[in-house]
Structure formats: structure tokens, C-alpha cells
A = this chain, B = another copy of it.
Amino acid sequence: MISVAIVDAQTPGNVGTIARAMKNFGLTDLKLVDPPELDPEGEAYGFAGQAREDILPNADEVTFDHLVENYHTVACTATTNEDARKHVRYPFSTPAELAADLERIETDTVVVFGRERVGLTNDELARMDEICSIPASADYPVLNLGQAATIVLYELRSLTVADTQHPDAIERADEQAIEGLYDQFDDFLDAIGHPEEKHDKANRLFRRVLGRAHPTGREVRTLRGLVRKAAMHSRD
């Protein structure tokens, strides 16, 4: 089970943004430490999308100690130490590495995000178990709180999303249908009088373009119809 905690957020809108990302990526349990007031008519609910119906009203207000005592705590921060001289922010994992690691482990984990601008303090970080940091441009690595949380929760989706809105795989046309299209293309070259000695080259080019594109059944049926008609009209 993965929970999300926000420590000392100042802006209700960011709490709403994080609640929405939780709902988008299959998480439900939100813990708030020293939260701002969350007015049902205000920005938190305005930014929460459908999470305004469940995650936001069901969020628990807890203490920082509660998180440390009851969860495997992962602290998210943009700013890491560059080397091993200090332990507060080093070593760290990226969100993708965190996801791969947590997939192997059965644990109650809470991913903790800090206040706007200054994030989590060194004292808070020192009490947490792991550090997670989003790789970003060295020129400007500090993400907005809501945007940072969105990326971390997106990366954790393999642990939290049972079914996405996507099909399992893209449907590719069956091989006979595609080969049939290549045959019809060759016939079309005949029909338009493309020189015999150039057929192989043109056929190969067409095969490569289609081969890279992984056409669907529908696409191949439509293309076959068009190529057939083109050959027919060219022979008229």
C-alpha cells in the first residue's frame, strides 16, 4: 500500500493538484501534516477534479511523528547532495528507481512532499528512510510542488494502477493481409507502367515504410482498397 503525505503546504491549490494526480494514478490515501484550510468552495477542491469527491474529503490530518512511526517514509526533494560527505540528501533514488524497488517489496510506504519553495527541511529529511529526487535540468531543477508529485505518482503507477484506459497492446494487421497489400502494390506498379526493372526497389521501399508503421487491420484494408482502385483506373 502506498500513501501520500504533504507536509505544511501553504497553497490549497497544490493539495488539490496532488489529490487529482493520486486519483489519476490509482492512489487513495492522503495524509496531511499542518495543512492549510481546505475550503470546499476554494482552490483545493477546484483543482482536485474528481478527487474532490473522495480523496480530498477523506484525507487524514496527522503528525509528522505519525508518518515516521508507522510507514516506510520516502522523502521527495529536488536538491540532493552531490556526494557522500553528508547523509541528509544522499544517496537518493529517482522516481523510476523507487518504483522498481518498491515493486519487489511488501511494505506500507508513504511518499512525502514538503512545503512550497523550501520543500522538506533537513531536520525532516534526517528522520525519513529514503530520499527520492526527480532528474531535471541542472539549470532549473526545482519543480512546483504539485508538478513534482504528479511525476512521482505517475512513475509509481505500476504499483497502484490495476487497469489503465489503454488496451493491452496495439492491434497489428495480420500478416496475410499485409502481404496481400504488397502483392496489390506490385500489381499497381504494373498498372501504372512503372518500369519492370524498378519494381523490386519500389516494392522494397513500400514494404519498409509499412513494416516500420505496424499498420492496423483497418488501415491495411483501406490501403488495399485504394491501391486496387488505383490499379483498376490506371488500366482503363
Q: Which residues of A contact B (CB under 8 A)?
A: 17, 20-21, 23-26, 47, 49-51, 78-80, 82-85, 87, 90-92, 94, 133-144, 146-147, 150-151, 154, 157, 161, 163-167, 170-171, 214, 216-219
Known contacts A78-B165, A161-B135, A164-B135; A84 and B217 CB within 8 A of each other: yes
What copy number does this chain have within its complex?
2
Q: Is A147 a contact of B20 with CB atoms below 8 Å?
A: yes
The A contact surface, by secondary structure, is loop
Contacts of A165 in B (CB 8 A): 78-80, 133, 135-138, 141
A80's closest neighbor in chain B, by CB? B166
Q: Which residues of B contact A87 (CB under 8 A)?
A: 218-219
**Distance to closest chain B CB from A77 (angstroms):** 11
Cα-based distance from A20 to B218 in the complex (angstroms): 40
Is the pair A50, B171 in contact by a Cβ cutoff of 8 Å?
A: no
Cβ B17 vs Cβ A147 within 8 A? yes
- Determine how close the nearest CB of chain B comes to the CB of A123; give it in whole angstroms: 20
Interchain CB contact under 8 A, B137 and A84:
no
A106 to chain B, nearest CB (A): 16
Question: Which of B154, B161, B171 makes the CB contact (< 8 A) with A83?
Answer: B171
A145 CB, min distance to chain B CBs, angstroms: 11
- For A142, the chain B residues whose CB sits under 8 A away are 24, 49
CA distance A227 to B223 in the complex (A): 74
Q: Beyond the given A90-B170, A91-B171, A138-B163, could you list 16 further A-B residue pairs with CB under 8 A, ordered by the A residue number?
A: A20-B144, A23-B137, A23-B139, A24-B142, A26-B139, A50-B140, A84-B217, A84-B218, A87-B219, A92-B170, A135-B164, A135-B166, A137-B163, A141-B164, A146-B147, A147-B150
Q: Tell me the nearest residue of chain B to A91, going by C-beta.
A: B170
Known contacts A91-B170, A170-B91; A25/B136 CB under 8 A: yes
